[in-house]
């Protein structure tokens, strides 16, 4: 097993909401609630779950773009939650993010050279000539021509803009890159091109990816391991091929069953369908958070929150895991 690049233990991000005078009637949204995970060197760890479950919030808290409410975040053994902003500054070039929307993540008033040179200047990369050369090399690294440095974002397609976003993230040779729904806004054919680019860059540069997505078909072809998130909690973590072959948590089973099937011989088969609405994060149910939608729930599920356990080489939070 490779070294651990980043780990969290009992990580929480809670938001107080509502409330009147003196905070009366205020509630708490537990966007990230007790998350513990390890991300290993050179792997792609995918985080999946329905919209609003806390995936993007977790990614931002891990990078200290948002402050954690409590818990620990360690980057190669160094505790990040104890660092002030000046202490984080030297580490930020090692921890980067590629955002979801390639149309909104690039400043429309800046030329591409300005966009790519900004992080280089911030971290004292070198002379103006060295920075200009690095910007050209970054464009070539993501399959674009150097002469595009003089262009503006509006002159590029969505796929090209996302390549520029990737180039910006790679400017200072990062160690870990959070990809926050970074292909979800792209057409399927462009998605495949960007995913192939990310794979090639990972092999060439030794990158580690934390890949946030709601698209399990992408996860199946791209990720080494996968974590399944529901209402701020990780409910299952394991190797991708094992989870797809035999999910142990009922929620994971329902997510996988919703993935479109390419084989026409299997399109007519009956698949389990997840019913009911996601509970409000401001009014979480007692016990297991999934019990209101789970067809296998028993009495204990309604009163006792399941602790994470090891089963078949995976971490799972369920009182009654599905049979292997």
Domain boundaries, the chain: 4-94+172-316
Specify the pLDDT at position 79: 97
Specify the pLDDT at position 268: 57
Specify the pLDDT at position 1: 62
Q: Max alpha carbon distance in the chain (Å)?
A: 68
Specify the pLDDT at position 213: 94
Question: Using CA atoms, how far apart are residues 119 and 107, in angstroms rounded to an integer?
Answer: 14
Q: Which of 251, 252, 256 is nearest to 297 (CA)?
A: 251
Which residue, chain included where needed, has tokens 């993230």? 169
Specify the pLDDT at position 280: 86
Domain spanning 4-94+172-316 has what CATH number? 3.40.50.300
What is the pTM assigned to this prediction? 0.92
Q: Are the C-beta atoms of 62 and 178 separated by less than 8 Å?
A: yes
* Residue 128 burial (C-beta neighbours within 10 Å; 0-12, 13-18, 19+): exposed
Specify the pLDDT at position 110: 95
Specify the pLDDT at position 185: 79
Q: Are the C-beta atoms of 194 and 186 separated by less than 8 Å?
A: yes
Specify the pLDDT at position 278: 83
Specify the pLDDT at position 129: 95
Regions of the chain short of the pLDDT cut 70? 1, 19-25, 261-271, 324
Question: Using CA atoms, how far apart are residues 59 and 209, in angstroms rounded to an integer?
Answer: 11
């Amino acid at each position: 097993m490779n070294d651990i690049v980043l780990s969290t233990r009992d990580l929480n991000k809670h938001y107080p909401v509502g409330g009147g005078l003196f905070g009366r009637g205020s509630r708490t949204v537990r966007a990230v609630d007790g998350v513990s995970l390890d991300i290993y060197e050179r792997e792609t760890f995918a985080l999946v779950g329905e919209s609003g479950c806390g995936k993007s919030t977790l990614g931002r808290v891990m990078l200290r773009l948002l402050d954690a409410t409590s818990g620990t975040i360690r980057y190669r053994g160094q505790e990040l939650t104890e660092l002030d902003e000046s202490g984080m500054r030297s580490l930020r070039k090692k921890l980067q993010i590629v955002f979801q929307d390639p149309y909104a993540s690039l400043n429309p008033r800046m030329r591409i050279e300005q966009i790519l040179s900004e992080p280089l200047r911030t971290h004292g990369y070198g002379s103006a000539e060295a920075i200009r050369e690095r910007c050209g090399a970054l464009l070539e690294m993501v399959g674009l021509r150097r002469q595009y440095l003089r262009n503006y974002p509006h002159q590029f397609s969505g796929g090209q803009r996302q390549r520029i976003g990737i180039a910006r993230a790679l400017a200072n040779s990062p160690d870990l890159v959070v990809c926050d729904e970074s292909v979800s806004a792209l057409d399927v054919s462009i998605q495949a091109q960007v995913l192939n680019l990310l794979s090639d860059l990972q092999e060439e540069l030794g990158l580690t990816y934390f890949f946030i997505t709601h698209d399990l078909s992408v996860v199946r072809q791209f990720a080494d391991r996968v974590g399944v998130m529901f209402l701020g909690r990780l409910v299952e973590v394991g190797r991708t091929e094992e989870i797809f072959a035999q999910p142990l948590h009922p929620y994971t089973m329902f997510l996988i069953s919703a993935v479109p099937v390419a084989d026409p011989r299997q399109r007519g088969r009956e698949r389990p369908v997840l019913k009911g609405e996601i509970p409000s994060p401001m009014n979480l149910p007692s016990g297991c958070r999934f019990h209101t939608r789970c067809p296998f729930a028993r009495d204990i599920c309604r009163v006792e929150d399941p602790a994470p356990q090891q089963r078949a080489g995976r971490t799972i939070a369920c009182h009654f895991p599905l049979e292997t």
